[in-house]
Structure 1
Amino acid sequence: MEKNLLIVSYAFPPSLEIGGRRWSKFVPYLNNLGYKISLLTHQPKIKVEDKIVYNNLNRVDFFNSKYPTVLEKRPVNVIDHLKYKVSLLYMKIITKNNYYDKGVLIKKSFLRKASSIIKEENIKLVIITGAPFSLLYYGTLLKQNLSIKLISDFRDPWTWGDGYGMNILSSKRKEKEISYQNEVLKFSNLVFVPVKPMYDHLVINYKEFKTKINILPHGYDKNDFEKVKYNIKNNNNNFRIIYGGTIYSNLDQLYHELYNCVKNNINCDYNIEIFTNDFKYLTKSQLFEIKKKMSVKKLLPTKDFMKKVHSADAFLLFFPDNVKDFLVLSFMKLYI
């Protein structure tokens, strides 16, 4: 019997967005178990030249979210602020749901594309990971219209979290998101979460769905790290501190404390490098003030970044209170 599987993940390598790493790490092992895997993902912003990233996949299809890119980053000047406000107003008018959800504009086109793949590849199992959480809801519509089993993967807290704009939604929009979340829990055959605090929240508040909720921790592929030379030494006298990955929300105070700390100790022997694509807490002028000791750079491929980690003296991690007990992917990379 063929084991045909469709994975839906908004981000997926070669995209450097951290959300794509989770299921990309599971794909080789699912492939080894005999699954014939199709992938539906957002069109990557970078040119796909290295086809090896899709080695274990039978088929890859892309969708365009149509989401305003200006809303994906914090505005830094007057023009950016104007574009941001206009785009945000547009999203508030066009959707009754969460206007920060990147999948909220593509319901019809997504369902059409996903349905086509399911029928053409004789898919029996669909795994959808969110955020964007709208994709999880679209999965319930697929389940009700096609003969499939559905696994919904909550990478992050949905309606009970502060991320993805949830903490600033109006009561009506929040109720809409809660209704979507309820549908996902109702129609999914299984629900995965990566950490126990998320599991505890769901099983306490949704006792009727307890048997289908499971913890699936973040994974890693040990082959990624066998290529890294671990004997890299820091030949510089400066104490080197490094960070890489997603910058969480609600950390304004912590990053401003870091800024003040660096500014007040500008002549000490240390250096801080932050690798991320979404740094938003300090202005360009503030970063210029402390550029002698702290720099923010674009994300690097995993093996290149890990070389920098192993040549550093310390790894910096900042967590907001709502995820302070989460075992995130960064820990997986550091402690293997």
Structure 2
Amino acid sequence: MKAPTTRNARSMADKAPILIVSHTFPPYRGIGGRRWVKFAKALARRGHAVHVIHSAGGGDLLGSLWTDDLSTPGIHVHPLPQRYPTVLFKRPLATVLEKVMYRFWSFALPLFTKGNWFDKTIFWERPFLRLAGTLIQEHGIRNVLITGAPFRLLYYGTLLKRSHPIRLVSDLRDTWTWQDGYGGGLLGLARKAFEKELERKVMEESDHIVSPHPAVVDHLRHAYPSATGRIALLGHAIDPDELGPPRPAHSPKLLRLIYAGSMYGASEADAYFNELLKGFAALREKYPESFAVCRSDLYITGHGTARYREQVERAGLSDRILFHEPLPAKEIFPRIAAADAVILFIPSGNKDVLGTKFTEIFYLGRPVIHVGAPGSISAYITSNGLGVTLPVEELANALPELMSGARQVHTNTAYDPRAHLLDHIAEGMERTLLLPPTV
């Protein structure tokens, strides 16, 4: 990493040092690291020394699309050994050995762990507390911001707070005990009760609890009314450094589609992809002129695409639906901006989770074709005039009409994304979440 400039080093003496804890963090891939490397970048630019504890995953987990942000002067990373079997969260399992080891660990881990044994930080308690305590003492850190999932990290934060005079900010990027993600659906009653008790302690002992999702904030305020005043929305940030300026109005014909992101939801994702293929087949039949010049570019991250490629080939659509390797943000966003629309499939479990990608796409001014169940996402898109929202079962019929221009999408050109800009959010974090430096 670059050494701080003289000016930056001088300003860091005037700003309180910060400790961020994010299990996934560049250079290791995963969308979970994007949120907090952006905040780290913005806070470091504002003069804070930002220390980050993250997982030192194996070499096969490298490849974050946001590694360039680590070059920001003032960010100091402190990786901890992963200590959790990669095979339990790697997809796809490519070899017989991987499949055998998956079964072994699925049998063994529940024998000597409490709560959710799918939590990647179940073996981190002692090494984390030791490293975090050392950093707090050596650098005079009073502000500690921890993000989950993995949610066990948030509980470790309460243990840290009991032995150090810190302000603890707990960030829930997703739902914890009240839905079945991150292995929660496979837990018995006793394990669920254990996780619920951890959640209660986090809610009671954190100085601030934040989430990027209004639905998570609403749930926590209802479930923990005594903590209502400490629960707040901390949205995902738009980083103009990688997006460039917003683009002009889109074409009435949505002939160039793009999909950039993960394919969550297993069977739901398969159903969506089948409907997508049916939609292109219907476009070929009903609007051949539009079909002749249409295309859909897929930049699928975090998952193998071989099965989807085979389906496209069997449908005779290989020249219209094209697969690409994932790209860094600065390279993918010009491609998004050049598309006529962005198609986004969201599984039902995430229907209320307004992820990072939405604010970025809204900033670029591209209409969204949201495919998924009604929820907070569909309501936000509809109320702000940002695109169209469709259930999966309607995609095949609606897609030809949208791509041909027979059905047009009218977007709100007055939508103002400034509240989502990175520096604006970082300034708010300083004002409402962080303790000032000691005199």
Question: What is the percentage of aligned positions where both structures have the same residue?
Answer: 31
Instruction: Name the residue aligned to 1:19.
Output: 32
Hey, what does 1:43 align to over in structure 2?
56
Distance 1:299 1:173 in 2: 37
RMSD: 3.0
Q: Give the drift of 1:240.
A: 3.1
Distance 1:117 1:210, change over 3 A: same
Contact 1:243 1:317 in 2 (8 A): yes
> 1:38-64 CA deviation, whole Å, 9 max, x = no partner?
111122533899776242434211012
C-alpha distance in 1 between matches for 2:311 and 2:273: 13
Deviation at 1:278, TM superposition (A): 2.7
Structure 2: distance between partners of 1:277 and 1:128: 25
Q: 1:273 aligns with which of 297, 302, 325?
A: 297
CA–CA separation in structure 2 for the residues paired with 1:294 and 1:160: 37
Q: Please state if 1:94 is matched with 2:109.
A: no
Partner AA of 1:176 in structure 2:
F
In structure 1, C-alpha distance between the alignment counterparts of 2:90 and 2:103, rounded to whole Å: 12
Match of 1:116 in 2: 134
Q: CA deviation at 1:329?
A: 0.6
Quote the Cα distance in structure 1 between the aligned partners of 2:150 and 2:226.
25
**Amino acid paired to 2:127:** S
Deviations 1:264-308 (A, max 9, x none): 84593344333233337x7x4453131415455443110111122
Counterpart CA distance in 2 for 1:55 and 1:160 is 37
Deviations 1:97-149 (A, max 9, x none): 21221111222111111111111111111000111111111111100111211
Asked whether the 8 Å contact 2:144–2:168 carries over to 1, the reply is yes
* Residues 262-271 or 175-184, more deviating: 262-271
1:200-253 alpha-carbon deviations (Å, 9 max, x no partner): 101111011111111111112212223x7958x99xx9933222223333x523
SS of 1:247's equivalent in the other structure is coil
Counterpart among 255, 258, 261 of residue 242 in structure 1: 258
1:75-117 deviation digits (Å, cap 9, x = unpaired)? 4567243332222223222322212211112221111111111
Other-structure match for 2:429: none
Q: TM-score, normalised by structure 2?
A: 0.67
**Hey, what does 1:9 align to over in structure 2?**
22
- Cα distance in 1 between the residues matched to 2:51 and 2:323: 36
Q: Could you tell me how far apart the structure 2 residues matched to 1:286 and 1:13 are? A: 28
Question: 1:163 & 1:50 partners in 2: Cα distance?
Answer: 27
Q: 2:103 aligns with which of 80, 85, 88?
A: 85
One-letter amino acid matched to 1:71: L
Checking the alignment, whether the CA contact within 8 Å between 1:243 and 1:275 is kept in structure 2 is: yes
Q: CA–CA distance in 2 between the matches of 1:310 and 1:208?
A: 44
Which of 179, 190, 195 is residue 161 of structure 1 equivalent to? 179
Task: Give the match for residue 288 of structure 1.
Answer: 310
Does residue 225 (structure 1) correspond to residue 243 (structure 2)? The answer is: yes
Task: Measure the CA separation in 2 of the matches of 1:326 and 1:241.
Answer: 23
Return the letter of the residue paired with 1:59. Answer: H
Structure 1 equivalent of residue 398 of structure 2 = none
Amino acid at match of 2:77: V
Rounded to whole Å, the distance in 1 between the matches of 2:242 and 2:362 is 13
User: Does the alignment pair 1:253 with 2:280?
Assistant: no
Deviates more, 1:302-311 or 1:136-145: 302-311
With the length of structure 1 as denominator, give the TM-score of the two structures. 0.86
CA contact (8 A) 1:239 1:271 kept: yes
Q: Tell me, yes or no, if structure 1 residue 316 matches structure 2 residue 315.
A: no
Unpaired segments of 5 or more residues in structure 1?
none
Tell me what 1:138 maps to. Answer: 156
Query: Aligned equivalents of 1:301 and 1:75: distance in 2?
Result: 22
Deviations 1:132-183 (A, max 9, x none): 1111111111001112111000111111122111122111111111111111
Query: What displacement does 1:197 show?
Result: 1.1
Q: How many residue pairs end up in the alignment?
A: 329
